[in-house]
Amino acid sequence: MEKHYTDSKVKGVSTGTTILAAVFDGGVVIGSDSRASIGGDYISSKTMNKVIQVHDRIFCGIAGSLADAQAVTKAAKSHLSFHSVQMESPPLVVAAASVLKDLCYKNKEELQAGFMTAGWDRKKGPQIYVVALGGMLLNQQVTIGGSGSTYIFGYVDAKYKPNMTREECVQFATNALALAMGRDNVSGGVAHLVVITEKEVEHVVVPGDKLPRFHDE
């Protein structure tokens, strides 16, 4: 597959991506596009789900090198499962984020992956934590990441309101992803959204032709 590889900073398959997460009243929405590419020229997967489940009510959005992200989330999943057996209760979202942060910080020389952990727990309700490339951990109400995020900072800053309803938040997330996919060449495909609340987890997939269209499309 070397012929597909160009001078990309990420070796192998990268998720040039748009990922996004937003807290609403009673839960959190985490979403991503579905394109995985090698070197920005070849799309190796049109339907990759970048929102990975690490526990019952905790999901992780991945960006960067696909191999690194999959290896880290696998290790985190195993660690969290063991942690929750020891504690005899579901892990807190901050615990999941810390596990990822530890892995990213301790191996920062070798790894090239960033994460966005979103979930619900009994102590603090819906939360989002960002774990950046070098291992920084930050708690936010709404956050975007990946190469496609640069095109939607304005939209997110203007349109996000705290305490939206579930429907408003899902619509906000879908619009934001559609706008980013429309401008970023390495983001595209379908929009994967996961809505996490105390009661349940719902996986919504919006196929490319059902995404919202804007004035120039």
Partner 1 sequence: MALSTVLETPGAGFNFENATRNAALEGLFGGGQTPKPLKTGTTIAGVVFKDGVVLGADTRATSSEVVADKMCAKIHYISPNIYCCGAGTAADTEKTTDLLSSNLSIFSLNSGRNPRVVMAVNILQDMLYRYHGQIGANLILGGVDCTGNHLYTVGPYGDINKVPYLAMGSGDLAALGILEDGFKHNLELEEAKELVRASIHAGIMSDLGSGNNTDICVITKQGVDYIRPYQESEYKDKRNIKYRYRPGTTPVLTEKVVTLKLEVVQEAVQKMDTA
Q: Kindly tell me which of 11 and 122 has the beta carbon lying closer to partner 1.
A: 11
3-class SS string, 16-44:
CCCEEEEEECCEEEEEECCCEEECCCEEE
Buried b (16+ CB within 10 A) or exposed e, 83-122: bbeeeeebbbbbbbbbbbbbbbeeeeeebbbbbbbbbbbe
| Options 6, 15, 17, 18, the catalytic residue | 17
Contact range with partner 1 by CB under 8 A, out of 44-52, 114-122, 132-140, 158-166: 44-52
With binding defined as CB under 8 A, does residue 8 bind partner 1?
no
Report 53-112 residues binding partner 1 (CB under 8 A).
Answer: 65-67, 70-71, 74, 110
Is residue 17 flagged as an active site residue?
yes
Options 8, 44, 141, 171; binder of partner 1; rule CB under 8 A: 44
Contact range with partner 1 by CB under 8 A, out of 11-19, 84-92, 129-137, 165-173: 11-19
Instruction: Give me the phi and psi of 129, to 5 degrees please.
Output: -125, 135
Report 149-188 residues binding partner 1 (CB under 8 A).
Answer: none
Query: Helices 66-87 and 93-106 sit at what angle, rounded to 10 degrees?
Result: 130
Q: Residues 121, 198: contact at Cβ < 8 Å?
A: no
- Interface ranges with partner 1 (CB under 8 A): 1, 3, 11-13, 36, 44-45, 47-48, 65-67, 70-71, 74, 110
Residues with a known catalytic role: 17
